[in-house]
């Protein structure tokens, strides 16, 4: 346990210093006119991955499971195994937030933002907690199956069903779970209702995500297919005119008609289920090559679905209007590398604009 604590405190210091150095580097390289993230989220992901691996290898999970098992007989029966990951998750979230505190002052100055560090860290913390709960739900069936002496192959359909249910809940309700949602103003609701009338859709506006300080514009779908809802960042209403707003509404409607949320949940379930199945009933050496083959194929499929939704929206409102709406939004993924673009489930705005204009 002492090794885990020492590693964690060391990671906090290193992460914060790395964040400040990275933020200073982006200022020198891009100046005040460069509004891209320049890999900030990749840095946070690297810190998070390092925290998870380091805390696990240092024995924190095993020590926590042993401590929980000694508290009550019910915990010793198997419940302690998934709960043992909670301290590791908390330590990882704190490490990522401390690193973000190092980067944020430079990002705020570079992008001329008015948001406070407390607000920014609070929003990121809520998102990370939601992700941690999702991961804990994915880890639980794996732990249960690994603890069985001889897992039956008949458990594979049950495994896929559990993954599909859990990921579907996250995919459909991730906005409510991970973001702050406010009631729209009268003017915001009026503009969205006017845009809905233009594109002939019945998807209502459920709430507004505070994003004006971060200058992020976009419309997001949420809820089940029987009760679909739309969420918009407040900056959307400042960045887009009525025609562009209608174009994004048409794109959201097309995504709903093509069931993109359900397709994404199914793809993620298949991906996780394949890796877990091969790891448990075969070996990790078999699961990793299968992942390297299947992941790009499934990402290619989801990107094709996204392009199909773009085409359907363009047929409704015009390709020029949709392209103009995309140009007005702030997409932080346009500086992706070729491998990142290949493995991403959503195509970058640059590729979407290229498809719309050719």
Place of tokens 């915001």: 188
Nearest alpha-carbon partner for 349 in 191, 216, 241? 216
Nearest alpha-carbon partner for 287 in 279, 295, 299, 297? 279
Strand-pairing partners, residue 221, are 230
Query: Is residue 135 predicted with pLDDT exceeding 90?
Result: no
Average the pLDDT over each of 25-29, 92-96, 174-178 and give the range with the smallest value.
25-29
Predicted local confidence at residue 93, as pLDDT: 94
Q: Tell me the C-alpha distance between 358 and 356, whole Å.
A: 6
Average the pLDDT over each of 29-43, 142-156, 216-230 and give the range with the smallest value.
29-43
Dihedral of alpha carbons 99, 117, 91, 165, sign: negative
Query: What count of other Cβ atoms lies within 10 Å of the Cβ of residue 118?
Result: 8
Of 43-47, 214-218, 341-345, give the range with the top mean pLDDT: 43-47
Place of tokens 């290193």: 14
| The two structure tokens encoding residue 157 | 């359909």
Predicted local confidence at residue 303, as pLDDT: 94
Going from N- to C-terminal start, the domains of the chain cover: 2-113, 186-357
Crossing angle (nearest 10°) for helices 284-317 and 186-199: 80
Q: Tell me the C-alpha distance between 127 and 178, whole Å.
A: 4
Query: Is residue 72 predicted with pLDDT exceeding 60?
Result: yes
Max CA separation in the chain (angstroms)? 65
Query: Is residue 33 predicted with pLDDT exceeding 70?
Result: no
- For residue range 183-232, list pLDDT tens digits in order: 999 999 999 999 988 888 888 888 998 865 567 788 999 988 888 999 99
Q: Tell me the C-alpha distance between 100 and 115, whole Å.
A: 14
Mean pLDDT value across the chain = 84
Q: What is the mean pLDDT of residues 10-33?
A: 80
- For residue range 76-102, list pLDDT tens digits in order: 656 677 778 888 999 999 999 999 999
Indicate the DSSP class of residue 215. T
Contact 126, 178 (CB under 8 A): yes
Nearest alpha-carbon partner for 173 in 231, 216, 234, 251? 231
């Amino acid at each position: 346990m002492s090794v885990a604590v020492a590693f964690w405190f060391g990671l906090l210091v290193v992460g914060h210093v790395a964040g400040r150095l990275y933020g200073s580097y982006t200022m020198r390289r891009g100046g005040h006119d460069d509004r891209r993230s320049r890999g900030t989220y990749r840095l946070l992901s690297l810190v998070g991955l390092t925290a998870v691996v380091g805390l696990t290898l240092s024995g924190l999970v095993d020590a926590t499971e042993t401590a929980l098992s000694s508290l009550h007989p019910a915990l010793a029966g198997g419940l302690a195994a998934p709960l043992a990951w909670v301290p590791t998750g908390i330590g990882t979230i704190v490490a990522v937030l401390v690193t973000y505190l190092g980067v944020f002052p430079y990002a705020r100055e570079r992008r001329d933002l008015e948001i406070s560090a407390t607000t920014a860290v609070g929003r990121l913390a809520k998102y990370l907690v939601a992700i941690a709960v999702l991961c804990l739900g994915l880890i639980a069936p794996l732990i249960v199956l690994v603890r069985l002496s001889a897992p039956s192959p008949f458990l594979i359909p049950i495994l896929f069903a559990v993954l599909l249910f859990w990921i579907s809940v996250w995919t459909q309700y991730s906005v409510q779970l991970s973001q702050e949602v406010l009631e729209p103003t009268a003017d915001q609701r009026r503009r969205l209702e006017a845009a809905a009338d233009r594109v002939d859709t019945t998807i209502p506006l459920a709430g507004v995500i505070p994003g004006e300080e971060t200058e992020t514009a976009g419309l997001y779908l949420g809820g089940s297919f029987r009760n679909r809802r739309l969420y918009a960042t407040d900056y959307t209403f400042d960045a887009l005119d009525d025609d562009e707003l209608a174009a994004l509404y048409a794109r959201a409607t097309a995504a709903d008609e093509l069931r993109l949320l359900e397709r994404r949940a199914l793809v993620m379930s298949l991906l996780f289920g394949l890796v877990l199945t091969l790891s448990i009933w075969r070996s990790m050496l078999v699961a990793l090559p299968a992942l390297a083959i299947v992941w790009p194929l499934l990402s290619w499929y989801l990107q094709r679905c996204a392009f199909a939704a773009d085409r359907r929206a363009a047929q409704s409102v015009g390709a020029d209007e949709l392209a103009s709406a995309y140009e007005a939004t702030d997409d932080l993924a346009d500086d992706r590398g070729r491998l990142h673009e290949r493995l991403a489930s959503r195509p970058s705005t640059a590729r979407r604009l290229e498809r719309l204009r050719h």
